[in-house]
Amino acid sequence: MKKLAIGCGVLLVLAIGVLIVIAIAGGSYNHLQKLSQGVNYQWSQVQNVYQRRADLVPNLVATVSGAANFEKSTLTEITEARASVGQIKVDPKNAPTDAAKLAQFEQAQGALSSALSRLLVVSERYPDLKATDSFRDLQAQLEGTENRISVERGRFNEAVQAYDTAIKSFPAVFYAGMCGFTEKPYFTATTGADKPPQVQFDFNKK
């Protein structure tokens, strides 16, 4: 009888231990799911602001095209850069897990940023263009969009950092890979092409 009681006690302790392990693992798994969804959400936000910028380009080009003798090569460059962005196929809802794919996406977006920057700098030579309400409105929208891009990229990197840290921490490090939780790449901090265009102009200057 005593041995039976001891045996039952051992089994109870083991059962409690198993339940605790399952509870910890379940909580950790749910936490990873939440972080993964957070990364995907921030990725969709990044996509939204990049799409907004792409949608502004045709109107900007059309407005600038009306300026007499405006540099056609600049318009061609920005049109081609926008087309290149459209050729990079990425999932708008799920953050990429391939660093090379994200780098390709960044490069195309950076080329568009650079082209927009040059277009706006060139427009400085056209006082009549700068004085039009439509151009000033597009400039303001572009400035706001570029700022949002910077903000959303930063938030995306923060979400990725939290997720990548979690999958490498105990106890997730033992099962994350087997459950499909793989490391996600960051947006990189580069200089040059991906800087927001400088769009502050003095419209009263003649």
Structural domains of the chain in order of their starting residue, each with its CATH number: 2-174 (1.20.1440.20)
* 49-to-1, 44, 54, 63, 140 alpha-carbon distances in Å: 72, 9, 9, 21, 15
Q: What is the 3-state secondary structure (H, E, C) of 118-169?
A: HHHHHHHHCHHHHCCHHHHHHHHHHHHHHHHHHHHHHHHHHHHHHHHHHHCC
C-beta separation of 96 from 185 below 8 A: yes
Q: Give residue 92's identity as a one-letter amino acid code.
A: P
Query: Exposure string (b/e) for 159-184, b if CB count within 10 Å is 16 or more?
Result: bbeebbebbeeeebeeebeeeebeeb
Mean pLDDT by 10 residues, the chain (206 residues): 64 64 69 94 96 94 83 90 92 92 94 92 86 90 94 96 94 90 87 42 37
- Measured CA to CA, the distance from residue 149 to residue 112 in angstroms comes to 13
C-beta separation of 43 from 93 below 8 A: yes
Q: Give residue 18's identity as a one-letter amino acid code.
A: V
According to the model, what pLDDT value does residue 67 have? Answer: 79
CA dihedral 128, 133, 138, 140 (to 10 degrees): 100
* 175-to-24, 94, 100, 191 alpha-carbon distances in Å: 12, 21, 25, 38
C-beta separation of 175 from 25 below 8 A: yes
